[in-house]
Amino acid sequence: MMIFLHFTLWFAFLGLAVAIEPKEDKTERLTLDITDQNRFQLCLVKTKEYNDLESIFYIPRKGNLNKLIEGGVTIFESDSAKLSEVMIVMENNEARLALIQCAFETSHKYYEKVADQWHPIDHGTFEDKRANIRSRMTTLSRFQLNLESKRDCSQFVVKRLDCGDHILYTYTPKCGHHATSVIFGKTQIWTSNDGKRCAEVLAYCKDGVLRAAQLFIADLKTEEILYFEIKGELSVPISDSRLSLIVMEMQSETKRIQYILDIANVDRTNFEVATCTLGGVTYTVYEPKSKYLEAIVDGNKRIWQIQNSRERCYSILTHGRDEQILVSLNILDENLGTVDSRYYHKDGDVWKPTDASVFYTELEDLKDPNSSYSLGIRSSYLTITPKMCIIALLMVVF
């Protein structure tokens, strides 16, 4: 009994010793080298520019990053603290300053590079050094962006978006070319008097005339959006709501380019056309390249005509064999967003509307009696492009 008690106490003591033995931290400690391509695997990397002052942000993908280096030079290292965010301030593509945020710490750590070595500094010194870099960069580059000149494309990335009723241009600066002044020909839109720079421009144009501009202005600490309306050679500051009204005005000014579809003599420059023959019946799909179709005719005989400004006929399908033709089309109500399928057949020499049941009965009568194909193809297929309509027809038949 005593021997059993002895072994029981011995095993209990051994278990307690194992339990209180400190566990080794086997978490892999990682090092971020801001000059190594591996940094993109360790961190989410973002670049932001303010007044030609480039700052690169590193946000670790894992929570065990505890050392920051540049090449072989250590910037920051800790056995316990883990990096949660790093900002590197650049000057002429070279790292000059570093701001480090560690997890679970409210204060930041600041570093400056002097003679290829990194040294800790306080917050005030960091801001002074950053202001000095900005001052040097500002002295080197004061750039005027002329929205009317194509030459400015060498300093800005310019993109053109056709919005249908107007053209939207975006100007995004290349490194070192943030604008201190924005003009359109002789019209002065904005100029900087306090060291701020224009980081991006949206230009709203119609018929080659600048109607409004949206500017993103920034410095090291603040960002703001400015809106301007262009009236002749004057630039007037406006609100964002007024900009929305200007866009709406450009939309209402757009003249509807209306076409007439003559199924007897189709002008293919105005319509996309696709054709296939199934069961002896030839299907031809027409899709207007313009948004608006005014009327559909067969020579000098009218089939359909627009009734009000809300209607939009966006696809037409003719079904024909020999001299017999049926027409189906889809009409969109732009206010309600509803689609109405309409059907037409020829009564003598006159085109008349008919209902779906009569239409599909007549369509079935058109087919080759020796064909096994079913021609009851519903016009819902007209909601897609002509080529897709033909594919849909083939899928239904086969």
* Predicted confidence band of residue 119 (pLDDT cuts 50, 70, 90): very high
d(CA 284, CA 323): 14
Cα–Cα nearest to 97, from 59, 139, 125, 78: 125
- What are the backbone angles phi and psi of residue 270, rounded to the nearest 5°? -105, -5
Query: What pLDDT was estimated at residue 16?
Result: 45
Confirm whether pTM is higher than 0.85.
Answer: no
| Longest Cα separation, the chain | 120
For residue 85, the SS3 value is strand
Cα–Cα nearest to 205, from 162, 235, 244, 152: 162
The tens digit of pLDDT for each residue in 263-295 reads 888 888 888 888 888 878 888 888 887 656 888
Q: Which long-range contacts (CB under 8 A, 24 or more apart) does 291-296 make?
A: 291/164, 291/256, 291/257, 292/256, 292/257, 292/258, 292/259, 293/258, 293/259, 293/260, 293/261, 294/258, 294/259, 294/260, 295/260, 295/261, 296/260, 296/261, 296/263, 296/327, 296/329
d(CA 286, CA 302): 17
* Predicted confidence band of residue 386 (pLDDT cuts 50, 70, 90): very low
Query: What pLDDT was estimated at residue 258?
Result: 63
For residue 280, the SS3 value is coil
Q: Which position has the higher pLDDT, 123 or 48?
A: 123
Query: What pLDDT was estimated at residue 390?
Result: 47
d(CA 299, CA 281): 21
The tens digit of pLDDT for each residue in 222-246 reads 789 999 999 888 999 999 999 999 9
**315: burial class by Cβ within 10 Å (0-12, 13-18, 19+)?**
buried
Query: What pLDDT was estimated at residue 177?
Result: 59
Walk across the sheet containing 350-354 and list its strands: 271-278, 281-288, 311-321, 324-333, 338-347, 350-354
Cα–Cα nearest to 263, from 302, 289, 312: 302
Give the highest mean pLDDT range of 89-103, 105-119, 215-229: 105-119
Q: In sequence order, which residues have a C-beta less than 8 Å from that of residue 333 and are 6 or more positions away? A: 310, 311, 339, 340
The tens digit of pLDDT for each residue in 327-342 reads 998 888 776 778 888 9
Amino acid of residue 321: R
Q: Tell me the average pLDDT across 245-257.
A: 75
Residue 71 clears pLDDT 80, i.e. is over it: yes
Q: What angle do CA 388, 390, 392 make, to 5 degrees?
A: 70
Distances (CA, A) of 139 to 119, 129, 136, 352: 27, 15, 5, 76
d(CA 272, CA 283): 14
Q: Are 191 and 183 a contacting pair, CB within 8 Å? A: no
- What are the backbone angles phi and psi of residue 50, rounded to the nearest 5°? -130, 120
- Four-residue CA torsion sign, 101, 102, 106, 110: negative
The average confidence (pLDDT) of the chain is 78
Residue 393 clears pLDDT 50, i.e. is over it: no
Residue 189 clears pLDDT 90, i.e. is over it: yes
**How would you classify the pairing of strands 43-50 and 209-218?**
unpaired
d(CA 146, CA 152): 7
